[in-house]
Structure formats: C-alpha cells, structure tokens
Structure 1
C-alpha cells in the first residue's frame, strides 16, 4: 500500500490540484489548492480520506488561493513554497481582484521550504526540490517510491513555465529543469500545474524548450 493520487482541476485556469492519499493510513495532502474549495471538499469526502497537510509549489493565485480557507476549515498546516515567493502570496488580494477571482486574504504558510528538505503526511514522504525560474520561490515535490513528481508550473507536456512575470528568469528555469528534474530519471512521471501528465524521459526527447536535442 502506497500513494494514490487524484487530480481535481480548479479555477478558470484549470489548475491541476493533486489529492495525495496515503493508502495505509487514509491521510491526505492537497498540492496547490488554487480555488473551488467546495469542489475539493467534496472530492476529499468521496475519497473518504482525512486531510492532514497542504503543500504549495508556488505563490501564484491559481495555485494557492484556496489554501488558507482550507487551512482554517480543516485545521491543517500549509507547507511551501520557498520564502522567495512570499511577495506573491502577500499580493493575492490585488491579484485576485485583477483576474476576477473570488476575494481572498494574504496569508503566511506554516512552513517555508528549502531545497533538500522533506514533507510528510500519513506514512508518505516527499522530497523538496527548489526549482526557481517561473517564480523565484518555486518548489517541486518528488515521491521517490512512486517515481512521481508534482512540478507546478516548472514543466508541462511540450512546454515550460512562463518567465515573464515579476522575478521570473528563463535561464534559471532551464537550469532548474536540467539540474534538478532530469537527474530524477527518465521514468519519473510528473503532474504539471496545467494540462496532461507526462514523463521526464518523454520531455527530454520531444519538448522543444528543453529537449536533449536542443541542449545536448
């Protein structure tokens, strides 16, 4: 018995919120609950699991706007992202107003994450990889036993994260992908922040932005 994953797209941006379930304990974690809190609550209820943690890859509104409400409703901690994304979370009220999202307040996570740390829920442990570029404080969560990574907006099937936002950095993003993600192994599957899942091996072969053909 290991890790089970359900993906619930949330917000008008169809952001992939992952529900991670420890099959042995029935404990769950939410990765990037960007909104649609009631839909996420229904999904947790249908899975018959107990929410224990909330993990955030970065501070953009479509990835974290529902986090504080869920923290209050369930009494669970928010862990992540890296502290370099604090400015994004602090400007959530303005970002949500500008993008037509439901109003939310700024908040402070219970724990900022650093490269090489781990996060836990149930009997599951995930490695934290600091992968800046899309945002300066972006992190990725890697579940080694399942060969699965939750990469937020670092990498997509056939594309990479935008770097035209404040403090985005294209070269830094490419380095994060090549130096932090590729060494995990070609067989690792990943859940991106938007769109379909893929594997690192597939992207190394076919992704026009980071393929080995272009960067070999």
Structure 2
C-alpha cells in the first residue's frame, strides 16, 4: 500500500495542485485546486481514480480558486485549512480583483482542521500540522507512509513563504519550518506550493533563509 501523487500546475501563478490517491482503493483527493478545474478533472480521469474530497493548505486564491467549481461539479467535501484562514476565503472576490483573476464563488469548508488531526484518503492517512506564518491558518499534510509532505506556501526549494500579506508573520513562519517540518526528518520530500520538489534535508543544508548553518535568523 502506498500513497501515489501527481503534481498539476494551475493558474497563471503555476501553483502546484496535487492529486493524491490510495493505490489500494483508488480513492483520491485534490490538494489546493487553485483553478483550471477541467485540467484537474482530466488528470483524475487519466489516473483512473475516484475523487472523494478536496484538501486545502491555506486560503489564498491561487490555492483555493477552483474549490467552489469542483464542489459544484463533483459534490465533494472540503477539508482545511485551519479556521484562522476564514478571512482569506471570505475575501475571495477581493483577491480576484487584486490579482486580475475572473470572479470565483465563495465556499465554506466542510471541516476546519487543527494541529494533530488527520485526514484520510482511502486507506491512507495524512497528519495535519498547523503551520502559521504565510497565513495564520496554514496547514501542512504529511504522509508518514510515503515520507512526503504537502507544504503549500510555507517552504520552497531555496526559499520560504511570503509574510507581507495581511496577518503574515515572519517569525511564526520560521518557527513553523523549524519546529514542525524539520522534525519530520532529513529524508522527507515535500511538494511546495510553487516550483520543484525538494527534501527537508536539502533545505536545511542550503536554503539561505532557514539553513542550519545560518544562525542570523
């Protein structure tokens, strides 16, 4: 039994939407469907899996913009993010105007997530980590069985998430990375919200913002 995944870049921001599924049951979830819903559903069909839920890391438009359309077309439950990101989801219309995106419908998650909870996809279970900083209600999904984390905009290959948006907090972001992600282990790979995959060990060695050798932060 193993968690399978496919990265689907969506929106003009090339956000890494992830399709994940249990290879035993072929039940699947989509993480951060920021837009391009037809592309996401085409990937679901090609993989031959059954979409059963939507998982959200945080409330920014490029990560949640396709959520309401997917719910309308597939009648899917929405799990995540943590409740402190409710204000971002409530401001979707303003986010669309700010970034020049077509309007998208608002939605309310079926389930807000908290630190220490889990989400399930078929027989696979992912741990929920509350990782504020980029946004106050940001969460990370971690598969112990796959040694894989879906980290949204907390951490990137060679960089970290922005904290200049409303309720961003640079110190909290660094605490989230060092206190929540690093303990998952050097070998843990991660899918960031944008750009290529990396591992926590690689970022601890070379990321200029959070590398272990840099004690100035």
Q: Report the TM-score, using the length of structure 1 for normalisation.
A: 0.98
Q: Deviations over 1:134-187 (max 9, x none)?
A: 000000000001000000000000000000000000000000000000000000
Report the equivalent of 1:100: 100
Match of 2:114 in 1: 114
- The match for 2:74 is 74
**Structure 2 unaligned residues grouped into runs of 5+:** none
Q: Distance in 1 between matches of 2:117 and 2:215?
A: 29
User: The residue matched to 1:127 in structure 2 has which SS?
Assistant: strand
For 1:146-185, list aligned pairs within 5 A. 146-185=146-185
Structure 1 segments, 4+ long, off by >2 Å, are none
Task: Return the alpha-carbon distance in structure 2 between the equivalents of residues 2 and 112 of structure 1.
Answer: 26
Deviation at 1:215, TM superposition (A): 3.2
Query: Normalised by the size of structure 2, how large is the TM-score?
Result: 0.98
Report whether the alignment pairs 1:86 with 2:89. no
Kept in 1: contact 2:69–2:105 (CA 8 A): no
Separation in 1 of the partners of 2:194 and 2:204? 19
Deviation at 1:76, TM superposition (A): 1.2
What secondary structure is seen at the aligned counterpart in 2 of 1:215? coil
Query: Match of 1:212, SS?
Result: coil
Which structure 1 residue ranges, 5 or more long, are not aligned?
A: none
**1:26 maps onto 2:26 in alignment:** yes
Post-superposition offset of 1:102: 2.0
Please name the residue that 1:38 is paired with: 38
Counterpart in 1 of 2:65?
65
In 2, Cα distance between equivalents of 1:48 and 1:151: 25
Partner of 1:56: 56
Counterpart residue number, 1:2: 2
Cα drift, residue 66 of structure 1: 0.4
2:203 aligned with 1:203:
yes
Structure-2 separation of matches of 1:109 and 1:152: 17
Q: Displacement of 1:97 after TM fit?
A: 2.1
Kept in 1, the 8 Å contact 2:22–2:121? The answer is yes
Length, aligned pairs only: 216
Q: Secondary structure of the equivalent of 1:201? A: helix
Distance 2:156 2:215 in 1: 17
